[in-house]
A = this chain, B = another copy of it.
Amino acid sequence: MEVHNRYVSLKNHINEAPSESDLEIKTTTLSLEPKEGSGDVIVKNLYLSIDPYQVNRMKFYSSSQETSSFSQRLPLGQAIDANGVGEVVASDNAGYKKGDLVAALIGWEEYTNIHGGGGVFRKIESTEFPLSYHVGVLGLSGFTAYAGFQYVCKPKKGDKVFVSTASGSVGSMVGQYAKLAGCYTVGCAGSKKKVDLLKDKLGFDEAFNYRDEPDLKATVKRYFPDGIDIYFDNVGGEMLEAAVANMNVFGRIGVCGAISEYTDSTKRAAPDTLAIIYKRITIQGFLAADYLQSYSEFIKDTSNYLRQGEIHVLEDISLGLESLPSAFVGLFRGDNVGKKIVQVIHD
């Protein structure tokens, strides 16, 4: 049996912010009968993760290519791989049977053949939480926040923590983990609505709208009169410079993303090297994939926080594959509030 499989692909490589016309929806056919002995797992995709880092794979050239599979340049015309949640519709793999729900590396498409089953992160054993949570708060976004904050930023109770893109998929979780760790926590975001959300719903001690602030160094100083111990960086650029200027001695900066630089390489951060030396600052880039040994701990801890209402979930779900190009492009305008997800609608 074959199905029509619609997918989102890249029409041309880009060098700036993406526009919807850089992407197109195409259709192919997919056999729902896995080859015997292949170990393949064929899933019907339900929720797709929409992430800013994907834009780096769409560029003509990136210096960071080939350091890991998900920094490699995307080919044109093919389905774009992405994390998501799917339901197994056919399996040649002893580990998975029809009807299983899985969190996996799938694609911006309606169906994915997960070759050999290797792209499956885990089976979703319980439907206690909405399935979309396994893309965001219990997926790689949440895990990136968890691992980066815990193992790169190394928080201590009372630390002063600054988070950029604090209402985003990762930032919103970092801020909440920081509060749970007993840290003074300030976030920045790009609208009043987001700032209110951070303070009123997510429990940040303070938050500010960076678009209202012409002098970021002074702004950050205002919110951290006693300096920053931990900066969880999702934006790079000028905000990273402002953070370095306000770090305390032995401060830690976990560099998770650099969204302000992704689409404009002229915005590259040039923090004060002397401050890095004299304040003994550590700036560390990381990928959540390096901390997979603590994935089950993350799931356990975060599930408990969710059950006890100690973590609030920010999701921003668009419906249907055809909404995906606009959802993706909107990330770079700050349209999303929380984790951007596309729910695939199957007839």
Interface residues of A in 270-309 (CB under 8 A from B): 270-287, 290
Interface size on A, residues (CB 8 A): 39
| Residue A262 is within 8 A (CB to CB) of chain B in the complex | yes
Instruction: Tell whether, in the assembled complex, residue A268 and residue B273 are in contact, meaning their CB atoms are under 8 Å apart.
Output: yes
Q: Is A236 an interface residue (CB 8 A)?
A: yes
A230 smallest CB distance to B (angstroms): 15
The answer to whether B277 and A272 touch across the interface, beta carbons within 8 angstroms, is no
Q: A126: CB under 8 A from chain B?
A: no
Interface of chain A residues 49 through 101 with chain B (CB within 8 A): 56, 62-64, 67-68, 71
Quick check: A269 and B273 within 8 Å, CB to CB? yes
Known: A67-B249, A245-B63, A249-B67. A276 touches B285 (CB 8 A): yes
> Which residues of B have CB within 8 Å of A290?
280
A278 touches B67 (CB 8 A): yes
Q: How far is the CB of A65 from chain B (nearest CB, A)?
A: 8
Q: Within 8 Å CB of A286, what residues of B?
A: 277, 280
Whether the pair A274, B287 counts as a contact (CB closer than 8 A) is: no
Total identical chains: 2
Q: Is A8 an interface residue (CB 8 A)?
A: no
A240 an interface residue at 8 Å Cβ cutoff?
A: yes
Q: Is A256 positioned at the interface, with any CB of B under 8 Å from its CB?
A: yes
Pair B279/A67 contact, Cβ less than 8 Å? yes
Taking CB atoms and an 8 Å cut-off, the chain A residues in 145-198 that contact chain B are: none
Question: Does B269 contact A277, Cβ atoms closer than 8 Å?
Answer: no
Of residues 240 to 258 in A, which have CB atoms within 8 Å of B's CB atoms? 240, 245, 249, 255-258
A273 touches B258 (CB 8 A): yes
Please, how many angstroms separate the alpha-carbon atoms of A344 and B176 in the complex? 60
Instruction: Answer yes or no: A205 CB below 8 A from chain B CBs.
Output: no
State whether the Cβ of A261 lies closer than 8 Å to any Cβ in chain B: yes
Tell me the minimal C-beta distance from A54 to chain B in angstroms.
13
Residue ID in chain B nearest A252 by CB atoms: B284
Find chain B residues with CB under 8 A from A257 CB: 277
Which residue on chain B has the smallest CB distance to residue A245?
B63
Given the known inter-chain contacts A278-B64, A279-B64, A282-B282, please indicate yes or no for A273 contacting B287, CB distance below 8 A: no
Identity of the chain B residue whose Cβ is nearest the Cβ of A278 in the assembled complex: B64
Complex Cα distance, B278 from A283, in Å, reads 13
A272 to chain B: which residues have CB within 8 Å? 63-64, 268
A59 and chain B: residue at smallest CB distance? B274
Query: Assuming A63-B245, A284-B283, is B270 touching A68 (CB within 8 A)?
Result: no
Across the interface, do B282 and A283 meet the contact criterion of CB distance under 8 Å? yes
The answer to whether B261 and A274 have CB atoms under 8 Å apart is yes
Asked whether, in the complex, the Cβ of A274 is within 8 Å of the Cβ of B240, the reply is: no
Contact present for A63 and B275 (CB under 8 Å): yes
A182 to chain B, nearest CB (A): 25
Q: Give chain A's interface residues, CB within 8 Å of chain B.
A: 56, 62-64, 67-68, 71, 236-237, 240, 245, 249, 255-258, 261-262, 268-287, 290
A–B Cβ pairs within 8 angstroms, 11 of them: A63-B245, A63-B274, A64-B272, A64-B275, A64-B277, A257-B277, A261-B273, A268-B272, A277-B285, A277-B287, A283-B283
